[in-house]
């Protein structure tokens, strides 16, 4: 079963902070994702000059698709990049991971996510979308969807509603199962009605963390997952170290988290989704899907960014196999 993702093609510029002072200076609410312009991006670079930084492929859906490819799942990705060093880095990394690229290019700066990581592992994003935000509904091609069975969209695209709706319409017309991750609590707050419309009309699987679920439904996690499950086929609400709730129909399952030392929470939810999809592809039950999701999430939070060694991936694949059996 092949999975196609669509999202903002971003390069994460990972910056390790010593405390929360830089976040306050930059007026970035801790744990949030804020869209920034070129001027704010340059200010961040100036402010963190001298800090330890590194590059990694980023973007919520992109992280999920890359992890799925590492798990041996045939995966593709739709996105737009610029013709610059960040765009070339992104395309190279995606290709080396074995993901089928469905890229559009333009002559403007590629998107970057300034990822500010505090000592407690929490990450705060100042996201400059650049070329990533310029993908338009009229550029989508129906034939791209033909080879896939699941279409996965990141909620950050909600700011381009015509794009996300058109893509879902194309996927639905081809019989694909449609999944969405709600992205960030502040994005949900600003686009609540749009999210509810998409979920009710197109979505089969919805992923949210506890803050996003609360913002969308006005309820705490367990009650929120029940409300989301009434709108769609499968609902998942992630509650960090407390695990996750997964519900399909009347079946509600509580999945424990795997205890580990968190270094960087970046992509924990994205890797959880990858593990959950992996379980689905192998015809696993809700509990198994959730446990594989927790397995992937627990490994990515041990490192800064999203790049895991091949030795770690071997252990993850073995662990997933043991859960399935």
| pLDDT at residue 137, as a whole number | 96
- Alpha-carbon gap, residue 197 to 183, rounded angstroms: 16
- Alpha-carbon gap, residue 259 to 35, rounded angstroms: 32
- Alpha-carbon gap, residue 209 to 241, rounded angstroms: 11
| pLDDT at residue 215, as a whole number | 97
| pLDDT at residue 33, as a whole number | 80
Count of residues in the chain: 325
Paired tokens of 44: 């961040």
- Alpha-carbon gap, residue 272 to 267, rounded angstroms: 8
Residues 6 or more apart whose Cβ sits within 8 Å of residue 21: none
Q: What is the pLDDT of residues 21-63, one digit of tens each?
A: 999 999 999 988 888 998 998 999 899 998 988 888 888 999 9
* Residue ranges in the chain whose pLDDT is less than 70: none
| pLDDT at residue 202, as a whole number | 98
- pTM listed for this prediction: 0.88
| pLDDT at residue 98, as a whole number | 93
| pLDDT at residue 262, as a whole number | 86
Contact 178, 205 (CB under 8 A): yes
| pLDDT at residue 304, as a whole number | 79
Q: What is the homologous superfamily of the domain 3-8+60-108+134-324 according to CATH? A: Ribokinase (3.40.1190.20)
- Alpha-carbon gap, residue 209 to 224, rounded angstroms: 10
């Amino acid at each position: 079963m092949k999975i196609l993702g669509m999202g903002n093609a971003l390069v994460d510029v990972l910056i390790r902070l010593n405390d929360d002072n830089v976040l306050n200076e930059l007026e970035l609410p801790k744990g949030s994702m804020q869209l920034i312009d070129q001027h704010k991006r340059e200010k961040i670079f100036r402010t963190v000059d001298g800090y330890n930084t590194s590059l990694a492929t980023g973007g919520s859906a992109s992280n999920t698709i890359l992890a799925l490819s590492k798990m041996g799942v045939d995966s593709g990705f739709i996105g737009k990049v610029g013709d610059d060093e960040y765009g070339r880095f992104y395309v190279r990394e995606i290709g080396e991971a074995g993901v089928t690229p469905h890229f559009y290019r333009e002559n403007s700066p590629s998107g970057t996510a300034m990822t500010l990581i505090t000592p407690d592992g929490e990450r705060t994003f100042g996201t400059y979308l650049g070329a990533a935000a310029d993908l338009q509904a009229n550029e989508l091609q129906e034939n791209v969807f033909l080879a896939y069975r699941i279409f996965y969209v990141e909620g950050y695209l909600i700011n381009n509603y015509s794009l996300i709706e058109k893509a879902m319409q194309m996927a639905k017309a081809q019989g694909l199962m449609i999944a969405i991750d709600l992205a960030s609590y502040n994005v949900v707050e600003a686009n609540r009605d749009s999210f509810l419309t998409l979920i009710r009309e197109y979505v089969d699987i919805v992923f949210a963390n506890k803050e996003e679920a609360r913002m969308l439904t006005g309820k705490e996690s367990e009650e929120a997952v029940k409300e989301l499950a009434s709108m769609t086929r499968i609902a998942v609400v992630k509650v960090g170290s407390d695990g996750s709730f997964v519900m399909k129909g009347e079946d509600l399952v509580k999945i424990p988290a795997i205890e580990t030392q968190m270094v960087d929470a970046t992509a924990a939810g994205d890797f959880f989704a990858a593990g959950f999809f992996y379980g689905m592809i192998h015809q696993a039950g809700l509990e198994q899907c959730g446990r594989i999701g927790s397995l992937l999430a627990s490994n990515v939070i041990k490192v800064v960014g999203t790049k895991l060694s091949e030795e770690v991936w071997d252990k993850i694949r073995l662990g997933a196999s043991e859960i399935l059996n």
